[in-house]
Structure formats: C-alpha cells, structure tokens
A and B are shown apart, each in its own frame.
Chain A
Amino acid sequence: MSAAEHLGDLLSALADGELTSFEAAAAQTHVTQCSVCAAELDDVTTARAFVRGLPQLDPPFGFYERVLRHDRRLAAAGTGWKGRRVAAAAFGSAAAAVVLLGLAPPRDTPVSPPVNSLVEAHATGASFGGDPLSRLAPIGVPVTFRR
C-alpha cells in the first residue's frame, strides 16, 4: 500500500480493533509512513476518547414510555409520507442538538494546578537537555506552594 492510497474507513476499524491481526499490522505500518493517515488516526482516536469521556445522563422521567408510544404511533401510520416526515423531523432535531452541543461554550471547571508536581515534571523533563546535575539539584529541595 503506497502513501498515496490512504486508509479511509480502515482507520476507524483500526481504532475500534475490528481488523484482523494481519490487516492491523499492515495498517499500522502504513500509518507510520503516511502523515495524512497518522493525523486522521489521531483525530479518530481523540474523538472516540472524547465521546467516551462524556458524562452519562439519565433521561427525564417517562422518556422511554413516550418513545415507545411514539414508535407504536409510527408503526400504525405505516411507512407513508407522514412516517417519513416524522422520521426526518426527528433526525433534524437530533442533528440540531448535536450542533448546539458542539457550539455551546465549554463549562468552566475550577482548576487548582498541582504546582509542586508541575515543577518536578518540568525539572525532570528539562534534565534530558544539557546538564542533568544542575537541572535536577533544585528539586532535591522540597518545595511547597500552599497557602
């Protein structure tokens, strides 16, 4: 597979673990050589992680009953133009909800940065460049940033 032939749908199958071991190995090899597919795989993985990280919400009281009642009404109406219009309206509402959720500003979460840990993460990470001795020595001294 050349870099010009991108993986397309195979990327989400790869992320979902739906490929055979042979297919997965071939896809992984391609991803290491193709920056476009590597970036797409990053996107897919990030999106999956984001969706999985969304909080679970309980539906409002009576929601399932109303859906079932609505479903029975649709079945009674058959698959005529009325049914299709109701389905289209439902799809439209769902799409609008997705768009509104996407456009809503992120919720403000109070953050207390763990400054001690961040200082240690910085100093130890920085010690890979240049001289480790002078970079690591300062965190040999315990530091607290609490009130």
Chain B
Amino acid sequence: MNGLVRRSAALAVLAAAAALAEPLPVASQEGAGTSAGRTADDAPLEAAGRAAQSLSFVGVLQLRWSEEGEERSETLVVHGANGSLVVKGGTAVMASSEQRLVEHSGEDWNLLWPAGFSGSDRPAVSQKYQLVASPGPPVANRTSRVVEVRSRSGALVEKLYLDDQTDLLLRREQFVDGPTPFRTVGFESVTIGASVAAPPPPVDFNTAAPQVLSATRVPPGVSAPVALADGYQRVGLYRRSGVVQALYSDGLYDLSVFEQQGTLNRRGLPDRARVDVGDERAWHYSWPGGHVLLWEDGGTVYTAVSDAPLDQMVTAAASLPPAGVSPSLVRRLRQVARALVQPLAA
C-alpha cells in the first residue's frame, strides 16, 4: 500500500513537472518570399546582384553619407570578374563563390561567411514598396533606367539606376524627407565587359564563420522573433563568438539584431544622440551604410545594424518582444522541470 502511495506521489510530481515543461515549438519556414518569376523591374536589386556576380568590370565608386550632421564622402575601387567581386577602400571586402571576406589595412583576411550561409530568400520588395521604372539619365557614361522605390503612401524612398544593357547597379540613392538624397553610392567611372582577370582569392585567412542556428529552436533567453514590425521577416539566425545575430529583411533593406546576455558597459561608449526604442533609451550611431542602435533591456544587450532609414529601424527594433529577453521565473521553472523530466521520460 505504501509503495502504491509513493508511486502515485512520484507520478503526480512527474505530471506536474511535465505540465510545466516547455512544449516543443512548431516548425516554421524562414522568410516568406520567393525569387521565382520576378523580372528585373519587379526585383531590381536581385537583377543587379546577378549582374554584379556575372559581369567583368572595373570602376571607381563614390560613397556619400551624412554622419553626425556632417556630409562625408569616400572613393572606392571596385573590380569584378568570374563571380568574384572586390571593393577596396581603407578596408578591402571580397565576395567570392558565396563567401565573404574582409581585410583591414595591414592585417590578415577574415572569412566572415563561408559558402552555404546565404540564409533564406528575402521577401519580395513589392510586398512593402511600389516600384516604377522609367528611362534614366546617363550615369558614368552609361545609359541607365531608373527604378523609383516608393512607400505605400507614395513617399520616395530610393532611386536605383540600373545599366540599361546589363542591369548592373550604377547608382543607388536613398531619401528620407524631400528630393535630396541623404546617402548615395554610385560609379564615377566604370568599364563593363573589359577583359579583367578575376580578383585573386586570399591564400591565407582567418576563419570567423558563424554557427547557423536552427530556425525552429531559438536559444533560451534570445528574442529573435520570426518577424518584426514594418514588414521585416527573419531570414537567418546565427551565433558568432557568443553573440546571436538575427538577420531580417523587408525586401529592400536588411536589419541585423545582435543579442548578448549581460549589462551594457556604458563606460566605453562614445557620446552620441539617444533615441527611444520602446521603453528604452538607445545610443544612435551612423556608419557609411546606415545606422546602429545600441541598448539594454532586461539583462540583454541589443545592437541593431541596418541600411534602413532610422524611423524604420526604431519601429522594427521596438517590436522585439520583451518576454524573450530574459527568462522569466515561469520560463526558468519550465526549463528546470523539463530538464528533470527528460531523463525519466521513456
């Protein structure tokens, strides 16, 4: 009789623990978009990407951007052939056979993305934006057609100048308010179809490749929802040196949210403007390709990096669910209960 009571009590404890244990999440598909059936004018950036990876060309790019209220510009040399592409400024960047490498001046090459890490398809740009193509002005002595990218409300967001013959992106202008672009990257000069040797891949390099995380098993304590506000869908989830990176896209812009457990060390931060991200105050920095937001919430430090306009970034970042930031008492209780039940489960 005592044995029966003990067994019943043990079963009751196990049942309670099993009830608390977290259910397995349902599998989901990363990224809803597909590249099938899109034309160059429907998907101008995809067409430009194919051109950049298939053409031989050499050119000089000029990059203009605004940083801390100051207009900045930089000139870069670009060189593409046989599927490889190198951009050289103070830092050299190589895209080769689905790999991405970076070389800082006087240092070794670092392999940041080996082949096979390209993530899921991006959503179609037409899901969020309107595209209108028309003949464009000459750019770097090439005939262009321009694709205007507008928000659903009709506001001009970008102008993409594609080479009329090859679809290579000759210039890209980004707008926020008004007709003057606040960021531009475009060729000052370019020679397409020249007999150019492929950029030689580096012989030695350091590997700093990330680990691909399962789309269906987000690590405990990490937010990384499958979608953020303003149409951003998760297209990849990675971990590198203890930092989890969730990569999102709205079809035109990409947004990375990096998460690290801990408290933000404010002493090393440069003083910059602060913006509100939900209930938190974030530090805002500019870089030549966009913005960086840095904030802490519930024991997690977030770094968001994007080429999107700042208001879009803030809206998307503010939609990160706080519940996933730090395991709640109930969540930790569930995890402990699950850990106790798992070895006993048949």
Contacts and interface: CB of A to CB of B under 8 A. Distances in A.
B93 A136 contact: yes
Interface in B240-269: 240, 243, 245, 247, 249, 252, 254, 256, 258, 260-265, 268-269
Interface string B258-297: 1011111100111100000000000001011110101000
Given A140-B89, A146-B270, A119 B329 contact: no
Given A125-B236, A127-B100, A128-B119, A142 B52 contact: no
A15 interface: no
Interface stretch (A21-29, A54-62, A63-71, A96-104): A96-104
A126 B307 contact: yes
22 contacts: A39-B24, A39-B25, A99-B336, A102-B335, A106-B299, A118-B303, A122-B245, A125-B238, A125-B256, A126-B254, A128-B100, A129-B45, A130-B45, A132-B52, A134-B172, A137-B89, A137-B289, A140-B74, A140-B90, A142-B91, A145-B285, A147-B270
Contact of A108 (B112, B122, B299): B299
Contacts of B294: 113, 115
Nearest to B240: A121
A109 B261 contact: yes
Interface stretch (B128-136, B211-219, B314-322): B211-219
A110 B262 contact: yes
Interface in A27-48: 35-36, 38-40, 42-43, 46-47
B325 to A, nearest CB: 11
A141 interface: yes
Contact of A140 (B49, B88, B219, B339): B88
A140 B76 contact: yes
A38 B113 CA distance: 24
Nearest to A133: B52
Contact of A103 (B46, B303, B336): B336
Interface of B: 24-25, 27, 45-46, 48-49, 52-53, 61, 63, 65, 74, 76, 78, 85, 87-93, 95, 98, 100, 102, 104-105, 112-113, 117-119, 122, 168-169, 172, 185, 210, 214, 216-217, 219, 221, 235-236, 238, 240, 243, 245, 247, 249, 252, 254, 256, 258, 260-265, 268-271, 285, 287-290, 292, 294, 299, 301, 303, 305-307, 326-327, 329, 332-333, 335-336, 339-340, 342, 346
Contacts of A146: 268, 270
Given A125-B256, A130-B122, A139 B102 contact: yes
A5 interface: no
A3 to B, nearest CB: 13
Given A102-B339, A121-B210, A130-B122, 4 more contacts: A118-B245, A135-B289, A135-B307, A138-B63
A103 B254 contact: no
A123 B93 CA distance: 10
A7 B47 CA distance: 45
A111 interface: yes
B85 A133 contact: yes
B305 to A, nearest CB: 4
Most buried by B among A102, A126, A142: A126
Contacts of B335: 102
A142 B104 contact: yes
B52 to A, nearest CB: 5
B249 A115 contact: no
Contacts of A119: 287, 289, 292, 305
Contacts of A147: 268-271
Given A108-B262, A118-B256, A125 B247 contact: yes
A143 B235 CA distance: 26
Most buried by A among B88, B249, B289: B289
A8 B122 contact: no
A128 B113 contact: yes
Contacts of B258: 113, 118, 121
Contacts of B264: 110-111, 113
Contacts of A42: 214, 217
Contacts of B262: 108-111
B306 A122 contact: yes
Contact of A141 (B53, B91, B268): B91
A123 B245 CA distance: 12
